[in-house]
Chains A and B, each alone.
Chain A
């Protein structure tokens, strides 16, 4: 098991010299926010220093120093993660990419954008649109950085049509743990050229190298889009409609599901009751939200007709058309606010981000609700019905923290076992961090887990990059003084 040195004052001065006074925090000056992400239930760990790098060269210099000093380095974007991925569990240095926030250039002939990793997703998306292009990955957390998105292979709402972040990364610049700078991938869309180190980097959560520049694929912006809300009696009937929707050849951009209680919470919290709760005289218990894209109104209308037929057969109370820009904004803002709404109304919170086959979603949710009830916690859930990726939040407002953790552990053990039984994945897009390591090992098996560890060893023999994450063992041994 790895052991590390504390950051010596002398080494700290070297780091300070690299980034300069204004972008360096050390000792008491380190801000508390760097000790956790959005899931503080997994513990708070304050780094010894924070460097806000602005260039590949600075990142390289920082890593070189830390590598020599045997000090851990944890890369951090906006800190919006949910599994402790950017939390420096072994102390050391946090390397923030937030100042590497420039969109560098567009290549309009090859439909790519070159960008630094600290650009926020919302800024990249808006900028691409201003260029008449679309960056398809659309994770719910719009203030995350693209670097973070790549490091977690974030998926989001449009994955059902466009795929996930991985499918849009063509090339990147990476700094290895010892400071060497390496370019991976090319601005072309095909490769049959050896092991893909590029794809190893994607989703590696900052454990193999530090991404300092990205070349991302864009697509032409669809001419028109429309969203449709299908209210259902309950989650089981809602989910049961999804295979039929997928079979209807509509090529939907997204198929989201949401349960009534999260919709109610969101309405109460934001004052924006955009989802109708009573439809044609009947109480809606769950919703499917579908977005269709097309080149013109005629094409969209034809698709909507087909969707309407499918929805009616599947027992939807109605098919509601979200056509105007204002309404689209309201509907999707409500959808995007779900997590923050949950965070705001909940004292203790833990989450699962499992993926199960689409036809098992309802069954899995029913199982989770039953288990949660047995454990005395409550559950809020929503997610990507089109690809089986569920966001399940386990909440409590009255349990003691230790008791909550104990009960949630039981709940999660059962749910992840069920997920494995259903041939599902531990995480669809939030990743493993240090929170889900055990469930990953159980899910992939010891052989695969061991190979992951071996790969980590090749990239980072000293284990200084983001210790204790994904497949790397570091269990809080004493730091060498």
Chain B
């Protein structure tokens, strides 16, 4: 019986985020929060592994209360248990502080043979969380996994194919192992009515900084984050090029190819 953990994140749908042309700040209002797309692939890999070998999938996230919706999506798609870590004290955390909270809480709930993560988040996109979670779980680490080939519970190993730059590597790692999952082979399933309905009323276990025993407050939220963001600004506009305005696409194309004739 495999004990599987999936770490997920709810993110704003970055493609819909706009920038206020006057202030240059992000307009978040009306932008839907979604399950980080690559986390859906990680969950699918976890659920398929569970279905093959038996076991249970716990899904965990840190975020505001609304992040429960992302957890319900995971429950509908095959997770067995959902844990939400939500507290104002967790806010403004970088990956180091976030991984600390998640791993501290997850360890309280049990031990894990396999931990699955998405490759990176849509919003932060640092891709650092998986490595730091693996470090804190003291787990071996396989990134860019496109197929989980075999889990050997007796030998305590997992064998997987990794999608690397020049080809496919087959690698074996000792359990516990943390894997980041490519989307190639793990399109998230569409839940059926029964599991969807169950997910809507299922219990979401919630923990705060007060209910995670032994949590070191110096390591959470802003105080626990060694990286800071002193400022943000809109990307500079480039110097701009020559605009071609000949009145029709055909004439524009003609003008363009005349202009770049020496390059063709």
Residues of A participating in the B interface, judged by any CB pair closer than 8 Å: 21-22, 25, 31, 228-229, 273-274, 276, 297, 301, 304-305, 308, 318-327
Contacts and interface: CB of A to CB of B under 8 A. Distances in A.
Given A301-B200, A326-B34, A326-B37, A321 B247 contact: no
A326 B189 CA distance: 13
Given A320-B192, A321-B192, A301 B34 contact: no
A261 B39 CA distance: 30
A297 B37 contact: no
Interface of B: 13, 32, 34-35, 37, 73, 76, 187, 189-193, 196-197, 200, 247-248, 250
Contacts of A229: 190
Given A301-B200, A323-B76, A326-B37, A318 B32 contact: no
Contacts of B32: 325
B190 A327 contact: yes
B143 to A, nearest CB: 23
A101 to B, nearest CB: 15
A31 B251 CA distance: 11
A301 B197 contact: yes
Contacts of B76: 321, 323
Contact of A276 (B190, B196, B197, B247): B190
Contacts of A320: 190-193
A276 B189 contact: yes
B200 A297 contact: yes
Contact of A22 (B35, B196, B247, B250): B247
Given A320-B191, A326-B35, 10 more contacts: A25-B248, A274-B190, A276-B189, A297-B200, A308-B193, A318-B193, A319-B192, A320-B192, A321-B192, A323-B191
Nearest to B249: A31
Contacts of B193: 228, 304-305, 308, 318-321
26 contacts: A22-B247, A22-B248, A31-B250, A274-B187, A274-B190, A276-B189, A297-B200, A301-B200, A304-B197, A305-B193, A305-B197, A318-B192, A320-B190, A321-B76, A321-B190, A321-B191, A321-B192, A321-B193, A322-B190, A323-B73, A323-B191, A324-B35, A324-B73, A325-B34, A326-B13, A327-B190
B34 to A, nearest CB: 6
Nearest to B32: A325
A323 B196 contact: yes
